[in-house]
Amino acid sequence: MIYRKAVFLVLLIFFTIVVKAQMDTVKKLPHKFEFDGQVSAYSSYSPDNDLNMFMGGRYLPELNYGYTFKNKSLLDFEASANLYGSVLFHPFDSSKTDGDIKPYRLWGRYTGNQYELRVGLQKIDFGTAKMLRPLQWFDEIDPRDPLKFTTGVYGVLGRYYFLNNANVWAWVLYGNENPRGFELLKNNKDLPEFGGRAQLPIPKGEIAGTYHHRNAHSNDLFGFPTYDNIPENRFALDGKWDVKVGLWFEAVYINKTKNMGMLTNQSYLTLGIDYTFGVGSGINVSLENMLSTYDEKAFAFENNNNVTAANIAYPLGFFDNISTMLYYSWESEVFSFFLNYEHQFKNLTGYVMAYYNPENQSGIGSTQIENSFTGPGIRLMLVYNY
Contact between 295 and 304 under an 8 Å Cβ cutoff? The reply is: no
| Residue 223: predicted pLDDT | 85
More reliable by pLDDT, 7 or 41:
41
| Residue 13: predicted pLDDT | 52
- Determine the longest span between alpha carbons in the chain, in angstroms: 65
The one-letter amino acid code at 18 reads V
Contact between 82 and 61 under an 8 Å Cβ cutoff? The reply is: no
Contact between 208 and 235 under an 8 Å Cβ cutoff? The reply is: no
| Residue 16: predicted pLDDT | 52
| Residue 368: predicted pLDDT | 53
Residue 366 in this model has a pLDDT that exceeds 70:
no
Identify the band that residue 26 occupies on the pLDDT scale cut at 50, 70 and 90: very low
Percent of the chain with pLDDT over 90: 80
| Residue 30: predicted pLDDT | 56
Give residues with Cβ within 8 angstroms of 296, minimum separation 6.
259, 261, 262, 264, 265, 302
Contact between 271 and 292 under an 8 Å Cβ cutoff? The reply is: no
Between CA 191 and CA 174 the distance in angstroms is: 7
Between CA 304 and CA 309 the distance in angstroms is: 17
Average pLDDT, the chain: 90
For residue 18, report the phi and psi dihedrals to the nearest 5 degrees: -65, -45
| Residue 364: predicted pLDDT | 57
Identify the band that residue 241 occupies on the pLDDT scale cut at 50, 70 and 90: very high
For residue 58, report the phi and psi dihedrals to the nearest 5 degrees: -145, 140
Percent of the chain with pLDDT over 70: 89
| Residue 222: predicted pLDDT | 85
User: For residue range 31-79, what is the model confidence (pLDDT) as tens digits?
Assistant: 889 999 999 999 999 999 999 999 999 999 999 999 999 889 999 999 9
| Residue 337: predicted pLDDT | 93
Does domain 114-385 bear CATH number 2.30.110? no
SS (H, E, C) the chain: CHHHHHHHHHHHHHHHHHHHHHHHHHCCCCCEEEEEEEEEEEEEECCCCCCCEEEEEEEEEEEEEEEECCCCCEEEEEEEEEEEEEEEEECCCEEEEEEEEEEEEEEEEEECCCEEEEEEEECCCCCCCCCCCCCCCCCCCCCCCCCCCCCCEEEEEEEEECCCCCEEEEEEECCCCCCCCCCCCEECCCCCEEEEEEEEEECCEEEEEEEEEEEEECCCCCCCCCCCCEEEEEEEEEEEEEECEEEEEEEEEEEECCCCHHHCEEEEEEEEEEEEECCCCCEEEEEEEEEEEEECCCCCCCCEEEEEEEEEEEECCCCEEEEEEEEEECCCCEEEEEEEEEEECCCEEEEEEEEEECCCCCCCCCCCHHHCCCEEEEEEEEEEEC
Residue 372 in this model has a pLDDT that exceeds 80:
no
| Residue 93: predicted pLDDT | 87
Identify the band that residue 96 occupies on the pLDDT scale cut at 50, 70 and 90: very high
pTM, two decimals, is 0.88
Residue 95 in this model has a pLDDT that exceeds 60:
yes
Between CA 268 and CA 253 the distance in angstroms is: 7
Identify the band that residue 374 occupies on the pLDDT scale cut at 50, 70 and 90: confident
Residue 169 in this model has a pLDDT that exceeds 70:
yes
How far out from the chain centre does Cα 318 lie?
27
More reliable by pLDDT, 367 or 67:
67
The one-letter amino acid code at 25 reads T
Residue 221 in this model has a pLDDT that exceeds 90:
no
Range 339-365 average pLDDT: 87
Residue 2 in this model has a pLDDT that exceeds 50:
no
Residue 136 in this model has a pLDDT that exceeds 60:
yes
Between CA 207 and CA 214 the distance in angstroms is: 24
Residue 7 in this model has a pLDDT that exceeds 60:
no
User: For residue range 242-295, what is the model confidence (pLDDT) as tens digits?
Assistant: 999 999 999 999 999 999 999 999 999 999 999 999 999 999 999 999 999 999
